[in-house]
């Protein structure tokens, strides 16, 4: 049978602090490995995974939601190197309608740390690409993701939820302004030339700061810094830590980029001048123990969340309308998903009837030596018409019971359909 159940399992900033989220976070290769391992088992038929600084979630299509939920939770626990029972304290699982509604809320920016942010759309698109490349994105999750992305765009177009868009980077700039006061003329060091570093540099540039960008690729750092800034390689890090008023770091490095020892050495030559460090990376770029150093103000993504919550309450005023739109879009997908069982059962039933008619015609053909070809065609047409007429009422009843799994299971048992292979056409039903 088609894997028509859907499931969402994961952790997010709602359920887990940064330390736990960074243990479960996946880069592209890690996501591919997780997807391959899940689909290689019997529990999960299709899947994609989205992993950002705020969430790691697996979306799957399956036949048995209980078995699939256990398989995904165990895989995430192995990733975090913790017992699955411990992970359960931070992990959530949504099934069927709740799973699709959750994804549509995520795509609409309603579940983000900063409500309405648009980066999640690109992250979800990337998740779909990775699943397609890995061969784990089948018709059910592909359609769910495609329709969620469309819903996310429409929610932003039709409500005010994103009109005053505030990203993690710009929220970080707000924190810097709160700590330093006027930013114009300040020297701000941006470590990392990825997307977060780029957005941060742009947000800072609007406040008239002197931006210095450091990256493993000096040429990219120089491009991000722009004509008014400066870009260098990471070998300039210790020197720039001594001169900066604030540091914003957002690399994708798997280990710490800025050590406690480096910060301690920089503080020693700053003449008592405080240093603000905003660590926007997952895993964290700055050694956490550096927070205890005198003269250092170290903030991370959890602090950004707290600031965002305080600043964006007014923006949530339109979230109710946005949530209604997302729910309507999710309900449309659910109607399609709920129909899969009926479509498959009806198709299998009619294939069984056609096979019976074909078998009887072939079995009796030698007895009809006196029939002309036209007579044979009329007999075949009559046999098929009788089968179709007999199946008409059961077909209408099955379609009317599309969301009633008990009725569909009863029909499959009554007509002995469970031994039949799934119709090939169902593999393209999402088109």
Is the Cβ–Cβ distance between 310 and 331 less than 8 Å? no
Tokens 């709920």 — which residue?
A: 338
Q: Where are the beta strands (DSSP E) in 241-306?
A: 246-249, 275-279, 296-299
Residue 279, φ and ψ in degrees, nearest 5: -100, 105
Which residue out of 53, 62, 91, 137 is catalytically annotated? 53
Which residues have a Cβ under 8 Å from the Cβ of 92 and sit 6 or more positions away?
8, 9, 10, 11, 12, 15
Is 53 a known active-site residue?
Answer: yes
Question: Other C-beta atoms within 10 Å of 334: how many?
Answer: 20
Give the span between the Cα atoms of 6 and 411, in whole angstroms.
Answer: 23
Query: Residue 211 belongs to what H/E stretch?
Result: strand 210-215
Q: How far is CA 394 from the centre of its chain?
A: 39
Structure tokens at 123: 């992250």
CB-based contact 133:319 (threshold 8 Å): no
Return the bridge partners of 212, or none.
189, 230
Report whether 169 contacts 271 (CB < 8 A). Answer: no
Dig out the tokens for 298 from the structure: 């170290």
CA separation for the pair 7, 144 (Å, rounded) = 11
Whose tokens are 């493993």? That residue is: 216
The DSSP result for 164-198, as a single string, is T---HHHHHHHHHHHHHS--TT-EEEEE--SHHHH
What Cα–Cα distance (Å) separates residue 24 from each residue in 34, 60, 113, 169, 224?
11, 18, 18, 22, 30
Residues designated as active site: 53
């Amino acid at each position: 049978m088609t894997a028509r159940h859907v499931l969402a399992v994961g952790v997010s900033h709602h359920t887990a602090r940064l330390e736990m989220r960074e243990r479960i976070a996946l880069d592209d290769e890690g996501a591919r490995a997780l997807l391959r391992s899940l689909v290689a088992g019997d529990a999960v038929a299709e899947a994609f995974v989205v992993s950002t600084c705020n969430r790691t979630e697996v979306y799957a299509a399956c036949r048995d939601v209980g078995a699939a939920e256990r398989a995904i939770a165990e895989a995430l626990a192995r990733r975090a190197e913790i017992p699955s029972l411990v992970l359960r304290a931070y992990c959530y699982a949504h099934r069927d309608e709740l799973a699709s509604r959750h994804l549509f809320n995520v795509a609409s920016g309603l579940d983000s740390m900063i409500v309405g942010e648009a980066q999640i759309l690109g992250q979800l698109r990337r998740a779909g690409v990775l699943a397609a490349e890995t061969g784990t994105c089948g018709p059910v999750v592909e359609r769910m993701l495609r329709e969620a992305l469309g819903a996310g765009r429409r929610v932003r177009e039709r409500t005010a939820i994103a009109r005053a868009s505030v990203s993690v980077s710009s929220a970080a700039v707000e924190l810097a302004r709160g700590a330093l006061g006027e930013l114009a003329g300040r020297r701000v060091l941006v470590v990392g030339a990825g997307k977060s570093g780029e957005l941060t540099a742009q947000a800072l540039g609007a406040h008239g700061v002197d931006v210095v960008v450091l990256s493993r690729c000096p040429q990219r750092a120089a491009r991000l810094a722009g004509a008014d800034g400066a870009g260098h390689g990471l070998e300039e890090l210790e020197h720039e830590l001594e001169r900066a008023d604030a540091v914003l770091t957002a690399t994708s490095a798997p280990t710490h980029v800025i050590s406690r020892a480096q910060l301690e050495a920089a503080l020693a030559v700053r003449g008592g001048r405080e240093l603000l460090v905003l660590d926007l990376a997952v895993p964290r770029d700055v050694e956490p123990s550096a927070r205890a150093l005198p003269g250092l103000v170290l903030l991370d993504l959890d602090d950004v969340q707290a600031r965002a919550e305080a600043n964006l309450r007014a923006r949530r005023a339109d979230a109710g309308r946005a949530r209604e739109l997302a729910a309507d879009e999710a309900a449309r997908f659910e109607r399609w998903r709920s129909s899969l069982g009926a479509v498959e059962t009806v198709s299998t039933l009619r294939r069984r009837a056609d096979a019976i008619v074909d078998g009887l015609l072939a079995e009796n053909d030698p007895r009809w030596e006196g029939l002309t070809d036209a007579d044979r065609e009329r007999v075949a047409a009559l046999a098929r018409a009788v089968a179709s007429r007999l199946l008409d009422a059961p077909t209408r009843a099955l379609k009317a019971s599309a969301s009633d799994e008990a009725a569909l299971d009863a029909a499959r048992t009554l007509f002995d359909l469970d031994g039949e292979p799934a119709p090939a056409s169902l593999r393209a039903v999402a088109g």
